[in-house]
Amino acid sequence: MQIHLTAAAPSDVRLHARVVNQGQALSGLDATLVEGAAVSKFSGRAGQTFEGFATVDGAVKRIAIAGLGEADAADRRANCERAGAALTAKYLVSGETAMVLDLGGAGLSADDAAAVLLALRLRAWRHDTYRTRLAADKRPSLTTVHVTGAPEGTAAAWEREAALAKGVEFTRNLVTEPANIIYPATFVAACEKAFEGTGVEITVLGEDEMAKIGMGALVGVGQGSERESKLLAIRWNGGAAGDKPTVFVGKGVTFDTGGISLKPGPGMEDMKWDMGGAGAVAGAMLVLASRKAKANVIGVMGLVENMPDGKAQRPGDIVTTMSGQTVEVLNTDAEGRLVLCDALHWAQGQYDAARIVDLATLTGAMIISLGNEYGGMFANDDMLAAQLTAAGQTSGDKLWRMPLGANYDKLIDSPVADMKNIGPREGGSITAAQFLQRFIKDGTPWAHLDIAGMVWSNKPGHTWDKGATGYGVRLLDQFVRDVVEG
């Protein structure tokens, strides 16, 4: 969707929309529209819409109104997003190709206005590449929005939010593509293309290189696949030369069959999005590079495909990680932690990180715990946990902190190796986090985000349709804005 800020509305656009606060008088509208809104009990609550028709300058116009909620609401930004998203949801497949959106008269700040536009664009994202027989009335038609009445400063605010939208859309594309299209090598290629001209530094390791430096855990996960595993690092140096980088690490299992510990068939097609953590890291890095963030940030992604080939690792195998610690693989479907442990160790050796945050669709147990409302957070540092929680509240990518502790840690001790890759059924998300913590160097602030219930949705949300949500991109960008850029 193209969004243009303009002083005057094009005369040939039929659909005109405005946003209003709850309880605000509908001034400047045809009396019939005002009465119709009252009869329809339109009050302007957040996300509420009303539509009518009026003759303007001799032409019939389609008039839409979206509610912003109460002007002094604590969640004003979220309400602004609901208003923008509601307009897109209503008119995306309406047959209208353009909309004039009036942002004047509601007392919006520049950031509020940018929030309306961000949600307007995010809700418009669709992935119809392979739908060759989609009915005409189901195809997106709305492609252009002309924005009038924007408050001063909106252009700069929208430039920043447009970069955010670009990153979220990139992540959604990666997560949505099927595994025969996005696998480790093509994930890397997609990133190389997306980051052209941004000034980032890209490092790629293949299987032979990873094997030579001892990444037995990561390489072991992918050894049953014909697709070569990769390690991808994207470095953005936008901060001061002496500042330590913030490092984001993502799990990128581009398809997860479970390996020899094969998953049940029903629902296995969803495992194309088991690379949602890596997808979020890639999208966040694209945001930071696109908006020229004043921060030093590195995104590291471990990319593998977990398949049950004759060469695949077996339950009971013991692998040696890059750290030198050994792991008894009791279940090959607990593979994400094996990918992350080597990626985390490599990142700490390669970069002198100020802090590390990893993201992974790691455990089904997290969905049992938190459903699809929060990502689970585990952290060894209270300040980092508080900063991430705050970033989640602001961005809408919410987090809930979960516990770590010695009593959980001993549940993954192995009688034949340093540790096993699964614990008991109870506390499955916690023991997975305890596993990862064993690969974090003392003194390094670290947080693990288990986002298994968040990267894909079976129902529409405020800023997404069914499918990939892009969860994590907004969270990481907000964290960088708040903590790293200050």
* CA quadruple 85, 86, 90, 92: dihedral, nearest 10: -10
Supply 18's token pair.
């405005």
Q: Is 466 a catalytic residue?
A: no
Q: Is 62 a catalytic residue?
A: no
**CA 71, 73, 78: angle at the middle one, nearest 5?**
100
- The secondary structure element, H or E, covering residue 56 is strand 49-56
Supply 85's token pair.
């998203």
- The C-alpha atoms of residue 218 and residue 207 are separated, in whole angstroms, by 9
Supply 420's token pair.
């096993």
- Compute how many other C-beta atoms are within 10 angstroms of the C-beta atom of residue 99: 26
- The C-alpha atoms of residue 143 and residue 63 are separated, in whole angstroms, by 18
Which entry of 263, 294, 401, 438 is annotated as an active-site residue? Answer: 263
Strands lying side by side in the sheet with 15-20: 2-5, 144-148, 98-102, 15-20, 59-67, 49-56
Buried b (16+ CB within 10 A) or exposed e, 350-361: ebebbbbbbbbb
Q: How far is CA 93 from the centre of its chain?
A: 24
- Compute how many other C-beta atoms are within 10 angstroms of the C-beta atom of residue 405: 10
- The C-alpha atoms of residue 229 and residue 453 are separated, in whole angstroms, by 25
Which entry of 337, 355, 420, 474 is annotated as an active-site residue? Answer: 337
- The C-alpha atoms of residue 293 and residue 478 are separated, in whole angstroms, by 11
Beta strands in 72-229 (DSSP E): 98-102, 144-148, 201-205
Radius of gyration of the chain (CA): 24
Beta strands in 73-164 (DSSP E): 98-102, 144-148
- Segments in 25-75 forming alpha helices (H): 31-39
Q: Which residues are catalytic?
A: 263, 337
